[in-house]
C-alpha cells in the first residue's frame, strides 16, 4: 500500500520550500499564479490529499463514508440512501453525499473532494457519461475500498452490487408478449451504463425467443426523466402503426409517458400496455396502477454499506465475489393487463 504524499514530498519533487507548497495549496496570494498551477498539477499527479481531518489522522480513520449518486431527486436513489444511512448510523459512520448530475466532470470533482476529505470508503453509482474509472485509482492505490452499485463498471479491486437487469427486462417484455403485444417500444437510458445496456439485451432476447422482430426504431434512448417520458409519448404517438406495448426503464419516465398517452385519448392498457421499472411509490398512485419491476433499493443500500464495512475491517475474504446479485421481481398491475382473464394482480419472482 502506498504511503500518503506530504507537502515535503512535493517540495522535494519541485525543489521548492514546504512553506511555498503549503501556501500554494491554500491559494495564498504570496504565491504567483504560475507557481500555484505547477504545484497543483504536481500534487494531483503524485496523489496528494489535503489534510482536512488532521485531528483524526492519529487513528487513521475519519468515520466518514463518501457516496456519489447520479441524481438526488431519484426515488430509487433515495431508497438506496435510506438503507445506507441505516447501516452506517448503526456502525457509527457518517455519509458524505454528493451528486454527479449525470456528468463525468462533476463525478471527477466529487471523487477528488471525497479523496481529499479522507473518507474511509467510497460508494458510487456511475453517471451517464462515465467511460473510465481513472478518477477512482487514487482510492484503490491507497487501499480505500470502492463499492459500485446499480450503475457499475468492472474493476478487479472493486465490488459491484446489482440485480440481474437482463433477466428482469426479459420477464417484463415476455409478460407484454403474453398479453398479446407484438409491437413493443422500449424506452431506455444511456447505453454506456450496464443497467440500460442489459435491459435492452433482455428486451431483445424476449422478442427473439417469442419469434418477434426487433427494430431499432422501437428503441427510444432518453434521459429517463419526467420530461423525457412526455417527449417519448409524443414520439410514440407519431408512429404508424402505434405500438401495443411499452417497456420503460424507470417508473418516473413510465408514468409521465402513460399520462401523456392518456391525455391523447390512448386507452391504457387496452390500446397500449405499459410496464415501468423500480416499483417507486408513484407506480401505485397513477391510474391505472403501473406494472413494474420491484428493485430493492433499500436492500441494495444496506448490502453495499455492509460489504464496505467488511472491507474496512479487513474481511475481504467474507465477500463472496466481485459482483453481488440481488433478487428482484415483476409486479403485475392493471397497466399491462390486456387480457381480462389475467386481471388478478400477481408477482412473478426472478
- pLDDT tens for 121-151 read 999 999 999 999 999 999 999 999 999 999 9
Residue 317 pLDDT grade (very low, low, confident, very high; cuts 50, 70, 90): low
Whether 349 has a pLDDT exceeding 60, the answer reads no
Residue 111's pLDDT is what? 97
Architecture of the domain defined by 165-296+329-349: 3-Layer(aba) Sandwich (3.40)
Task: List, in order, residues 6 or more apart from 164 with CB less than 8 Å away.
Answer: 198, 325, 328, 350
Domain at 62-163+297-326: CATH code? 3.40.50.2300
List phi, psi (to 5°) of 163.
-110, 170
β-pair partners for 248 = 187
C-alpha–C-alpha distance, residues 164 and 162, integer Å: 7
Phi, psi for residue 286 in degrees, rounded to 5: -65, 150
| Spatial distance between the Cα atoms of 145 and 88, rounded to a whole number of angstroms | 15
Number of Cβ within 10 Å of residue 90's Cβ equals: 12
Digit-coded pLDDT (tens) for 95-111: 999 999 999 999 999 99
Asked whether residue 324 carries a pLDDT value surpassing 50, the answer given is yes
State the pLDDT confidence band at 343, using cuts at 50, 70 and 90. very low
Q: Other C-beta atoms within 10 Å of 156: how many? A: 6
Question: For 278, which DSSP code?
Answer: B
Q: Mean pLDDT in the chain?
A: 91
3-state class (DSSP) for residue 259: helix
Residues 6+ apart with CB under 8 A from 156: 322
Rounded to 10 deg, the angle between the 18-25 and 7-14 helix axes is 110
Contacts of 134 (CB under 8 A, 6+ apart): none
- Other C-beta atoms lying within 10 Å of the C-beta of residue 142: 16
Distance CA 240, CA 287 (A): 26
The proportion of the chain whose per-residue pLDDT surpasses 70, expressed as a percent, equals 91
What's the chain's length in residues? 350
| Residues 20 and 36: beta-carbon distance below 8 Å | no
Contact between 18 and 7 under an 8 Å Cβ cutoff? The reply is: yes
Instruction: Answer yes or no: same fold for 62-163+297-326 and 165-296+329-349.
Output: yes
Sheet strand arrangement including 245-248: 219-221, 184-188, 245-248, 273-275
Half-sphere exposure of 208 (CA within 13 A, CB side): 7
Q: Where are the beta strands (DSSP E) in the chain?
A: 64-69, 94-99, 121-124, 146-149, 159-163, 184-188, 219-221, 245-248, 273-275, 292-294, 323-326, 329-332, 346-349
Mean pLDDT of 217-240: 97
Percentage of residues of the chain with pLDDT beyond 90: 80
Report whether pLDDT(26) > 50.
Answer: yes
Cα separation, 138 vs 107, whole angstroms: 14
Joined grid coordinates for residue 146: 470502492
DSSP string, 69-138: ES-TT-HHHHHHHHHHHHHHHHTT-EEEEEE-TT-HHHHHHHHHHHHHTT-SEEEE---TT----GGGHH
Q: What is the pLDDT of residues 244-261, one digit of tens each?
A: 999 999 999 999 999 999
Does the CA dihedral 103-109-115-119 come out positive or negative?
Answer: negative
Spans of all domains in the chain? 7-46, 62-163+297-326, 165-296+329-349
Amino acid at each position: 500500500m502506498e504511503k500518503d504524499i506530504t507537502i515535503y514530498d512535493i517540495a522535494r519533487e519541485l525543489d521548492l520550500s514546504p512553506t511555498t507548497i503549503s501556501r500554494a495549496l491554500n491559494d495564498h496570494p504570496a504565491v504567483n499564479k504560475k507557481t500555484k498551477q505547477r504545484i497543483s498539477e504536481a500534487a494531483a499527479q503524485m496523489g496528494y490529499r489535503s489534510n482536512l481531518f488532521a485531528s483524526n489522522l492519529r487513528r487513521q480513520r475519519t468515520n466518514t463514508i463518501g457516496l456519489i449518486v447520479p441524481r438526488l431527486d431519484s426515488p430509487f436513489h433515495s431508497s438506496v440512501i435510506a438503507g445506507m444511512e441505516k447501516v452506517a448510523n448503526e456502525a457509527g459512520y457518517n455519509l458524505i453525499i454528493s451528486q454527479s448530475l449525470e456528468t463525468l466532470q462533476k463525478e471527477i470533482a466529487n471523487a477528488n473532494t471525497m479523496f481529499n476529505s479522507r473518507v474511509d470508503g467510497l460508494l458510487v453509482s456511475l453517471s451517464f457519461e462515465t467511460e473510465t474509472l481513472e478518477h477512482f485509482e487514487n482510492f484503490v492505490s491507497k487501499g480505500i475500498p470502492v463499492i459500485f452499485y446499480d450503475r457499475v463498471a468492472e474493476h478487479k479491486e472493486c465490488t459491484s452490487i446489482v440485480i440481474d437487469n437482463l433477466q428482469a427486462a426479459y420477464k417484463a417484455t415476455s409478460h407484454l408478449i403474453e398479453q398479446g403485444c407484438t409491437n413493443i417500444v422500449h424506452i431506455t437510458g444511456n447505453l454506456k451504463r450496464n443497467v440500460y445496456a442489459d435491459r435492452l439485451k433482455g428486451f431483445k432476447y424476449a422478442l427473439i425467443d417469442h419469434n418477434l422482430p426487433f427494430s431499432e426504431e422501437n428503441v427510444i434512448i432518453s434521459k429517463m426523466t419526467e420530461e423525457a417520458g412526455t417527449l417519448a409519448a409524443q414520439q410514440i404517438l407519431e408512429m404508424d402503426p402505434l405500438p401495443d406495448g411499452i417497456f420503460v426503464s424507470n417508473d418516473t419516465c413510465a408514468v409521465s409517458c402513460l399520462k401523456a398517452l392518456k391525455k391523447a385519448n390512448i386507452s391504457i392498457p387496452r390500446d397500449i400496455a405499459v410496464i415501468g421499472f423500480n416499483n417507486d411509490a408513484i407506480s401505485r398512485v397513477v391510474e391505472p396502477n403501473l406494472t413494474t419491476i420491484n428493485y430493492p433499493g433499500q436492500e441494495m443500500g444496506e448490502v453495499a454499506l455492509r460489504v464496505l464495512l467488511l472491507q474496512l475491517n479487513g474481511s475481504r475474504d467474507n465477500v463472496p465475489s466481485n459482483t453481488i446479485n440481488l433478487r428482484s421481481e415483476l409486479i403485475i398491475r392493471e397497466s399491462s393487463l390486456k387480457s381480462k382473464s389475467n386481471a388478478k394482480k400477481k408477482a412473478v419472482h426472478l
